[in-house]
Amino acid sequence: MSTFKPFKGYHPDAKKASEVICLPYDVINSDEARELAKGKPDSYLFVDKSEIELEAGVSLYDQRVYDTAAKNLNRLIGDKILMQDAKSCYYVYKQIMDGRVQYGLVGCASAEEYWNDIIKKHELTRKDKEDDRTKHVDVCNANTGMVFLTYRAKDEINKIVEAAVSSPAAIIFDVTTEDKVTHTLYKIDDEAVIKKISEEFAKIGVLYIADGHHRSASGARIAQIRKEKNAAHTGSEEYNFFMAAAFPHNQLYIMDYNRLVKDLNGHSEQEFLKAVKEKFEVTDRGASDCKPSKMHTFGMYLGGRWYELTAKSHIFDATDVIDCLDVTILQKNVLDPLLAIKDPRTDKRVDFVGGIRGMSELKKAVDSGKFAVAFAMYPTTIEQLMDIADAGRIMPPKSTWFEPKLRSGVLVHKLD
């Protein structure tokens, strides 16, 4: 049984939304954020990436960064750039990218269910990043970004969402951003519909974190911190819940998350290719881009040529949810034994490129001489993600790249 509840969201209106909503804090760096915020004084980047208001090079963990974020959030609310709904609502967040549509219901998920594994994880979090988001939420007294959840699709919920988005009067804003993704926010304030949504989510056994493990961890940790400080704690306080957008699994799009390696660990190109052939069937594709078309195949760019690699069946266990992942196959058979990359999470010799940047980015990186070899991956599937979470297992790092990204500043959930 999953808890999902409505809340009194803060959001921009139709006139302001294009100037407010922004890319999330964890997909851009400070310099990029500074550039994107130029000429946009009401950009939510001044909350999500508040270091851009301070001197260049300031530590992201400086207390002033958090204080500035809270100040800027309070200003956006005080100036009515972000306006709060008078009653608790659900929202629908629709995104259109390259003609593909996904609809997320936005509400609040339960911190207690995060700890009890009703909200399932598939990634490890880093303590420094978790601490950072926890402090950001605490000082701002708000969930400043939404967690990206998924659930096994339900017709009943789809029908509610379809009805909600059929009414033009429900639209709060409709914006197409610079990357040609359309973001539309709808409000659901009808009490009977709100009750029905809550009931339908209660029938769902579990929710899955698709993206936003640090945001969800920070939301759950804040609930613990405030519970310990509140002698009159009941469990119904707003801080016990964190903002999330829940999408049906069959609408989501996971892109490839590709690998670049800086050197061949002392091997010549011929030696390396020969070693790869022991574990993979290798086909020379020459100058033709080699984007994998099915699971267990890889594109490799080496020495100005593309190669198609097909994993030999004996090198992985098809019945094991982790061992059969392409990211695991590459790690166990190439990155670790041949290139001495033991921990891709921390090794500085490996870099990762989201599929949104295309195959040409891999070729360019190797041709520049900064990297020796590139690997193009077949995307992890949403079913694999859920199977791993159901099994209580953890995915290897950099396994999934979701597109489109949920924008920040679409909604804010205050904790009091």
State the average pLDDT for the chain: 96
CA atoms of 159 and 72, how far apart (whole Å):
38
pLDDT score at 356: 87
pLDDT score at 345: 84
CA atoms of 50 and 70, how far apart (whole Å):
9
DSSP state letters, 82-98: SEE-SS-BEEEEEEEET
pLDDT digits (tens, 9 = 90+) for 262-297: 999 999 999 999 999 999 999 999 999 999 999 999
CA atoms of 361 and 369, how far apart (whole Å):
13
- The answer to whether 410 touches 44, Cβ cutoff 8 Å, is no
pLDDT score at 346: 87
pLDDT score at 1: 83
The SS3 call for residue 275 is helix
Which of 260, 212, 256 has its CA nearest to residue 354?
A: 256
In this prediction, residues 364-379 reach a mean pLDDT of 98
pLDDT digits (tens, 9 = 90+) for 73-102: 999 999 999 999 999 999 999 999 999 999
pLDDT digits (tens, 9 = 90+) for 151-180: 999 999 999 999 999 999 999 999 999 999
CA-atom Rg of the chain in angstroms? 23
pLDDT score at 40: 97
pLDDT score at 397: 84
pLDDT digits (tens, 9 = 90+) for 94-141: 999 999 999 999 999 999 999 999 999 999 888 999 999 999 999 999
Percent of the chain with pLDDT over 70: 100
- The answer to whether 391 touches 200, Cβ cutoff 8 Å, is no
Residue 3 makes CB contacts below 8 A (sequence gap 6+) with 109, 110, 113, 201, 202, 241
CA atoms of 55 and 115, how far apart (whole Å):
38
CATH 3.30.1760 describes domain 257-378:
yes
Domain ranges of the chain: 4-253+403-414, 257-378
Whole-prediction pTM: 0.93
CA atoms of 175 and 18, how far apart (whole Å):
6
pLDDT score at 398: 87
- Using the 8-state DSSP alphabet, how is residue 287 labeled? T
pLDDT digits (tens, 9 = 90+) for 235-254: 999 999 999 999 999 999 99
**pLDDT category, 29, cuts 50, 70, 90?**
very high
pLDDT digits (tens, 9 = 90+) for 299-340: 999 999 999 999 999 999 999 999 999 999 999 999 999 999
- The answer to whether 179 touches 107, Cβ cutoff 8 Å, is no
In this prediction, residues 388-411 reach a mean pLDDT of 94
